[in-house]
Amino acid sequence: MIAVDTNVLVHAHRFDSPWNERAFPRLQRLIESRAAWAIPWPCVHEFLSVVTNRRIWPDPTPIGAALDQVDAWQQSPGGLVLLNEAGGYWEELRRLAENARLSGAKFHDARIAAICISHGVRELWTADRDFGHFPALTTRNPLASDD
């Protein structure tokens, strides 16, 4: 299963994003593939926080439209799986934190990585290079490639 990080979701949603032309069709193809795909819950929360933020966007997404977007993703043909901290999460987070010698804000990415790994995610789509701290999780930047 492929999971999608916040930055890809934001760029796909915001038509005024400079990365929308790459993000939107790639996410759309994933959704329309009829294969199950995933978003970790922390990425849903962060998506809502980013797209509605007046400090980031001159014309932020209204909260109703942002919530509707999450609803639309949940109606995707293959089925969106929303990932949470399940069994094995703490042990995985601990292992990632110790191996990468994490501190501070990097724990947010470690949380997402631990959730994905504990759910058996095959690949995380992200434009965030910080996930390189977690070699147990395969990542791909769909904004950088043409496939």
* Identity of the amino acid at 110: A
User: Nearest-5° angle of CA 45, CA 74, CA 12?
Assistant: 65
Which of residues 105 and 146 earns the better pLDDT score? 105
Distance (Å, rounded) from C-alpha 99 to C-alpha 134? 8
- Cβ burial, residue 23 (10 Å; 0-12/13-18/19+): buried
Domains along the sequence of the chain with CATH:
2-140 (3.40.50.1010)
Q: Is the pLDDT of residue 12 over 80?
A: yes
On whether the pTM is more than 0.85, the answer is yes
pLDDT band at 145 (very low <50, low <70, confident <90, very high): low
91-115 confidence digits (pLDDT tens) = 999 999 999 898 887 899 999 999 9
Residue at token pair 């949940």:
74
